[in-house]
């Protein structure tokens, strides 16, 4: 009706013609693409029949020889446009599914980052507060130092949380700011903060380790691994007096070890309690890069968290 009303003032022919046929085919395609599933058949069938009936109602359409010579062309045309609409509908569905997957991956990544930041800083505050409660009367100077560390750790945690909130609001800006800090500087800072009089933490970096060549995903995973290892030592190995972090490269793989000398019996029992999602998120990060993650007691005593990640992971095919 719309197309006929638009052309009736400009052409002499008053019967339906090319305008109506093109309009019907366009409506049929758009219906098959955008209509709700419950209305696709209800709306597309009348359009399909109307397009077929155009052959009988619009003699001007038959002026071209191709329409007269090809049998069933008026059936094939609406069928082709209906299939085109269905194909575009499936493509739209695939794009929406891909967008949902991307959003889900982003949410999981944010959840990992949130756990890494909150668990690390809160655990440090709790452990130092517990230690300060016991040594306040015996060694007031050390207790004051612990409370100073608690204050600094709390401030650092607030800064980390502000960055997380900024990440949710302006992803590109915050990512660019976060990438400005070299990964080795961040790891050394984590080790420095974890080091204390009662639990010495050392860092050993082999000469062949060159973090400047690491892609952002590998650098982020290396930092998270050290952070999670130190956090779990605080949570589950309070009796450990020494923690050693070693980073080395061998056979084209980055190998990271976080070892402590805590009692393996206490440490092992605590690690298998379902107390958090840190190891789950860390294992997902390592798996995404084609690496291997393991944790368990060492024969000589203590506990070890280790990971082996290929340096050329970007060239590997996705799992």
- Rounded distance between C-alpha atoms, residue 255 and residue 246, angstroms: 8
Q: Please count the other Cβ atoms lying within 10 Å of the Cβ belonging to residue 22.
A: 12
Kindly state the percentage of the chain with pLDDT values over 90. Answer: 18
Q: Cα–Cα distances in Å, from 274 out to 112, 259, 277, 280, 291?
A: 16, 21, 8, 10, 23
Helix axes 278-288, 216-236, angle to 10 degrees: 150
Element (H, E) at 286: helix 278-288
User: Average model confidence (pLDDT) for the chain?
Assistant: 77
Across 144-241, where does the E strand assignment appear? 200-205
Q: Are 163 and 118 in contact (CB under 8 A)?
A: no
Q: Are 29 and 84 in contact (CB under 8 A)?
A: yes
Strand partners, 248: 255
- Rounded distance between C-alpha atoms, residue 54 and residue 220, angstroms: 64
Q: Are 269 and 279 in contact (CB under 8 A)?
A: no
pLDDT in tens, 64-114: 665 566 667 778 888 999 999 999 999 998 888 887 887 777 677 767 766
Residue written as token pair 């029992």 = 269
Lowest mean pLDDT across 207-221, 233-247, 268-282, 293-307: 268-282
Confidence of residue 306 (pLDDT cuts 50, 70, 90): very high
Q: What is the pLDDT of residue 268?
A: 44
pLDDT in tens, 145-157: 777 777 777 777 7
pTM, 2 dp? 0.49
- Rounded distance between C-alpha atoms, residue 233 and residue 304, angstroms: 10
Q: What is the pLDDT of residue 317?
A: 45
- Rounded distance between C-alpha atoms, residue 313 and residue 319, angstroms: 11
Q: Are 87 and 134 in contact (CB under 8 A)?
A: no
Is the model's pLDDT at 315 over the cut of 60? no
Per DSSP, 289 falls in state T
pLDDT in tens, 133-146: 667 777 777 777 77
Q: What is the pLDDT of residue 5?
A: 59
Is the model's pLDDT at 59 over the cut of 70? no
Residue written as token pair 């923690």 = 243
- Rounded distance between C-alpha atoms, residue 222 and residue 309, angstroms: 9
Q: Please count the other Cβ atoms lying within 10 Å of the Cβ belonging to residue 170.
A: 12
């Amino acid at each position: 009706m719309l197309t006929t009303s638009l052309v009736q003032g400009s052409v002499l022919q008053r019967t339906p013609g090319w305008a109506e046929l093109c309009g019907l085919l366009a409506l049929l395609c758009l219906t098959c693409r955008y209509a709700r599933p419950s209305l696709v058949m209800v709306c597309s069938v009348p359009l399909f029949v109307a397009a077929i009936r155009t052959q009988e109602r619009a003699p001007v359409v038959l002026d071209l020889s191709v329409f007269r010579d090809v049998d069933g062309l008026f059936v094939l045309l609406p069928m082709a446009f209906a299939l085109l609409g269905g194909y575009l509908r499936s493509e739209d569905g695939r794009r929406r599914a891909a967008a949902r997957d991307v959003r889900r991956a982003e949410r999981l990544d944010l959840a990992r980052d949130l756990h890494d930041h909150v668990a690390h800083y809160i655990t440090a505050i709790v452990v130092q507060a517990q230690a300060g409660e016991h040594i306040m009367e015996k060694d007031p100077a050390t207790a004051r130092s612990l409370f100073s560390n608690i204050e600094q750790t709390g401030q650092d945690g607030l800064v980390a949380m502000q960055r997380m909130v900024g990440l949710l609001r302006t992803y590109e800006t915050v990512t660019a700011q976060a990438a400005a800090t070299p990964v080795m500087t961040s790891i050394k800072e984590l080790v420095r903060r974890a080091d204390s009089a009662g639990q010495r933490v050392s860092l050993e970096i082999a000469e062949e380790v060159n973090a400047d060549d690491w892609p952002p995903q590998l650098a982020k995973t290396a930092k998270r691994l050290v952070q999670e290892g130190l956090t779990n030592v605080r949570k589950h190995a309070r009796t450990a007096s020494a923690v050693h972090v070693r980073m080395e490269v061998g056979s084209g793989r980055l190998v990271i070890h976080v070892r402590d000398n805590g009692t393996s019996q206490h440490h092992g029992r605590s690690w298998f309690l379902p107390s958090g999602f840190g190891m789950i998120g860390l294992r997902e990060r390592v798996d995404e890069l084609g690496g291997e993650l393991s944790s368990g007691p060492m024969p000589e005593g203590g506990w070890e968290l280790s990971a082996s990640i290929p340096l050329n992971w970007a060239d590997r095919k996705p799992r």
